[in-house]
Amino acid sequence: MLRTVPAHRVARSAVRHARSLTSQTPSSAGPSSPPPTETSSSSSTPSTSERQPPPPPQTWLSQTIRQSPAAKKAFLSLAGLLGYGSAKQYAGRRAYNMYSELCIPRPDDEAAFWKDECHLPPTFQSWFTVTNLHVWMLTVRLRALPAPQGVHFVQGLIDHFFIDVEDRVRAVLQPVSAKSLAPAQNLAPYTRPSEFYRIANPAANRPKPRGRAPESLVSRQMKIFKEQWQGMGMSFDLGLVRSDAELAAAVWRNLLGARGARGIAYPNTASDEAAFRRTVNLAGSKVEPLAKIVKRRGGLEAEERRDDGSGVHDYPPGEADKYVAYPELMATVVEYVRRELVRLEAIPDSVFLGDGVIGTETHGLEQLKFGPVRRDDGLVASFRQLQQ
């Protein structure tokens, strides 16, 4: 389902140009443009404006179409004749707006839950995991759309997800600076920026920042994220049809980092330094095969004690009490997933499909937005009240 890197670049350029021509608000840069934010300046944590380049200037054609209703009508008619208004093309553009408006904001909207309660570090890996959860939930509902629209919407959603992930991976590996040699239109973010994760050490001290990361490193990271997307999707699909216990296990493995898989280290059994351990995928990986890990010096145990930079690892002995909250956390996420899937199921197909007319790709998305993870009237909250 994933396209190659060259196809991604072609699709990225086409989608950006199309969005600028079909925007409904003259004063807006499009549905994906982030609202202005104010952040305090810091030498260690650059603000959003410092991390992201300014949007590229509008072309003469875009300005003309925005200012002249007759020109816009003629252009849209021509676009329709060229296939831009086909059902597949419309589904791809509407899927982009679904991804941008429904999935991307979720890590930031629920940052307190994911960071403070689930103890996910402010890394890109954490952002990917939380966003992937909401992409999966939306995919479950889109798969139920009548053929071939369902296939078109799912394919469009996954395509936009991975194009955005690649964009963000490049921004993390090679942050954009004012001295970048790449054109501004090539550095503009594919979607809105996120404050959920931080980009450390922007390339301000480099003499000639190129605005691009090594392709081999980007390709490796994209393969890793593809495997995580596939594994998480399959495990959540299985939990969805089997039981809440199976779904809770998928939550523990994918969202909570499978902390404590090899046992819990208590204060009286080991030191904090010796107790560092992260979970390694025993099922193997094409990027990092298990057989290759075992053959290394120290084998699996050495790999478990190696810090991979994700920030997700077992709690040290002094924080072993944090495991007590895990059953409630897993139950909370399971309840959230079930509740949102039932809500999306009750929404008619026509709301997801849209009007099918160029320029209406954002219509009706407000009622599709996900609700809060925790709810005061939820089952988990009710059980907690009974215990008190």
d(CA 345, CA 211): 43
Cα dihedral value 350, 352, 357, 359, nearest 10: 140
pLDDT at 167 over 80: yes
- Whole-angstrom distance, CA of residue 241 vs CA of residue 233: 13
Q: Which two tokens stand for residue 366?
A: 């407000």
Q: How confident is the model at residue 163 (pLDDT cuts 50, 70, 90)?
A: very high
φ, ψ of residue 118 in degrees (nearest 5): -90, -10
pLDDT of residue 61: 74
Per the CB < 8 A criterion, the answer to whether 255 and 118 are in contact is: yes
Mean pLDDT of 161-179: 83
State residue 274's pLDDT score: 52
Q: Taking a C-beta distance cutoff of 8 angstroms, is the pair 346, 368 a contact?
A: no
Predicted TM-score of the model (pTM)? 0.75
**What is the structure's pLDDT at 204?**
47
Q: What integer pLDDT is reported at residue 379 of this predicted model?
A: 79
Q: What pLDDT is stored for residue 292 in this prediction? A: 73
Could you tell me the two tokens for 108?
Answer: 């930031």
Residue 35 has pLDDT above 60, yes or no: no
pLDDT of 172 reads 84
pLDDT tops 80 at residue 138: yes
Helical ranges in 174-243 per DSSP H:
184-187, 215-242
The share of the chain scoring above pLDDT 70, in percent, equals 71
pLDDT confidence bin for 180, thresholds 50/70/90: low
Give the Cα separation of 228 and 288 in Å (integer): 12
CA distance 246 to 230: 17
Under 8 Å between Cβ of 320 and 265 = yes
Q: What is the pLDDT of residue 130?
A: 98
pLDDT tens profile 230-286: 999 999 999 999 999 999 999 999 999 889 888 888 887 555 455 677 777 766 677
Report the C-alpha gap between 104 and 138 in whole angstroms.
Answer: 12
324 vs 379, higher pLDDT: 324
Is there a contact between 238 and 250 (Cβ–Cβ < 8 Å)? yes
pLDDT at 378: 78
CA 158 to chain centre: 10
Could you read off the pLDDT of 287-317 as tens digits, one per residue? 777 777 777 777 767 777 777 777 788 888 8
Largest Cα separation within the chain, whole Å, is 77
pLDDT range class, residue 40, cuts 50, 70, 90: very low
Residue 211 or 173, more confident: 173
Q: Please give the mean pLDDT across all residues of the chain.
A: 78
pLDDT tens profile 332-366: 999 999 999 999 999 999 999 999 988 899 999 99
Least confident of 12-26, 46-60, 170-184, 249-263: 12-26
